[in-house]
Chain A
Amino acid sequence: MIYYVGSFLLIALGLYAVIIKKNLIKILIGLDLIASGVNLLIISIGYVKGGTAPIFSRAGLKASMMVDPIPQALTLTAIVIDASEMALAVAFVVLLYKYYGTLDIKKIRSLKW
């Protein structure tokens, strides 16, 4: 249960950071928080009470004792996607700082209307 709540809070915090914070790095942190929240949500959906990891590493493990493997697979994919997004985002921020000399989002608005 706590995982659900935690993931919701992570998503909400991330969104809050994205909307309210002015610093580009903080915005990126916000994005990452959202992503982590979503990943946590996915994993917690797949959980089955008393289940174990879906790996038949030793004899005697039964399918009925295991948690849902799909959310884990999805999370794996989602994490990689988030990581790639973040790498690209950091690259953008570095260049933005180079051009504008600031990390304040309010000052980075040469494109408008």
Chain B
Amino acid sequence: MVRKVVYSIFLAIIVLALAMFFAAYPFGKNKMTVGEYYLNHGVAQTGAANIVTSVVLDYRGFDTLGEVSVLFAAAAGVAILFFLAGGTKREQEDLTKPNFVVRVGSRIIFPFILLFGSYIFIHGHLTPGGGFQGGSIIASGFLLLYLSYPGTRTNRDGLSIIEGLAGLTFVVLGLIGLFLPQYSFLYNFLPKGILNTIVSAGILPIIYIAIGFKVASEFAGIVDDMMCQVICRGGGK
């Protein structure tokens, strides 16, 4: 109890200090310096209508490479931890069998989920959304499949090949920049195209598609690993 009170006080102090700090930077005030530059020049320089995308993939594309690596690391970590894992017979029997509506409904919905996900990452440079969002939507489709058909397994080798290919696409697209006169990693070397069309913004859509595939396969892999925790009978992969 004393502990709770003491730490509540501590946390109150921290919040107070945070509030004091941010009082100097009030909500809604324009604090942009670099951001202004992006807003003013982003369209001309990258050809993407969505400035957030141009920041994520172009100006700060290297962050995104890191982000992709983080996700990859997490997927690999989960795969390591659940390697050779499997549920006991009891646990498997405890799984409630999904009812008819769920099974049929998920079959109908699944293709639409895939379609929607792909739409989101293909249009990442035009509308809100992008590879990550699209990828996770696709992975949620897989999750639905797992829930309605507990015995489902995905082809893990296939997933990791997609994962690797998508990652390599990103890195190789970046590396091409080093062979150009601009000598800069992730240089947007393709023509910018016309604003607000699908084929615009140079390499950005390609990267987002790659990311979409990568994220989808990684999340699907994580879901698969976690499901396997129960449905596999030890020794599965």
Q: Do A and B bind? A: yes
Q: Which residues of A pack against B, CB within 8 Å?
A: 1, 3-5, 8-9, 11-12, 15-16, 19-20, 44-49, 53-57, 63-64, 66, 68-70, 72-74, 76-77, 79-81, 83-85, 87-88, 90-92, 94-95
Contacts of A74 in B (CB 8 A): 63
The residue of chain A having its C-beta at the shortest distance from the C-beta of B41 within the complex is: A63
Give the distance to chain A from B207, nearest Cβ to Cβ, in Å. 14
Contacts of B70 in A (CB 8 A): 80-81, 84
State in angstroms the CA–CA spacing of A91 and B67 once bound together: 20
Task: Give residues of chain B (59-74) contacting chain A, Cβ–Cβ below 8 Å.
Answer: 60, 63-64, 66-67, 70-71, 73-74
Main secondary structure of the interface of A (DSSP, over half): helix
Once the chains bind, are B39 and A66 in contact (CB under 8 Å)?
A: yes
Contacts of B54 in A (CB 8 A): 69
B98 contacts A by Cβ under 8 Å: no
Q: Which residues of B pack against A, CB within 8 Å?
A: 3-4, 7-8, 11-12, 14-15, 18-19, 22, 25-32, 34-36, 38-40, 42-43, 49-52, 54-56, 60, 63-64, 66-67, 70-71, 73-75, 77-78, 81-82, 85, 126-128, 130, 132, 136, 195-196, 215, 222, 225-226, 229
Instruction: Choose from B15, B19, B30 the contact partner of A48 (Cβ within 8 Å).
Output: B30
Give the distance to chain B from A108, nearest Cβ to Cβ, in Å. 16
State in angstroms the CA–CA spacing of A92 and B85 once bound together: 12
Closest 10 CB pairs of A and B: A84-B74, A49-B28, A63-B39, A54-B51, A68-B35, A73-B55, A69-B51, A12-B11, A91-B81, A73-B56
Once the chains bind, are A81 and B67 in contact (CB under 8 Å)?
A: yes
Indicate whether A68 sits within 8 Å of B31 (C-beta atoms), given known contacts A12-B14, A91-B225.
Answer: yes
Instruction: Choose from B19, B78, B215, B222 the contact partner of A4 (Cβ within 8 Å).
Output: B19
The residue of chain A having its C-beta at the shortest distance from the C-beta of B73 within the complex is: A84
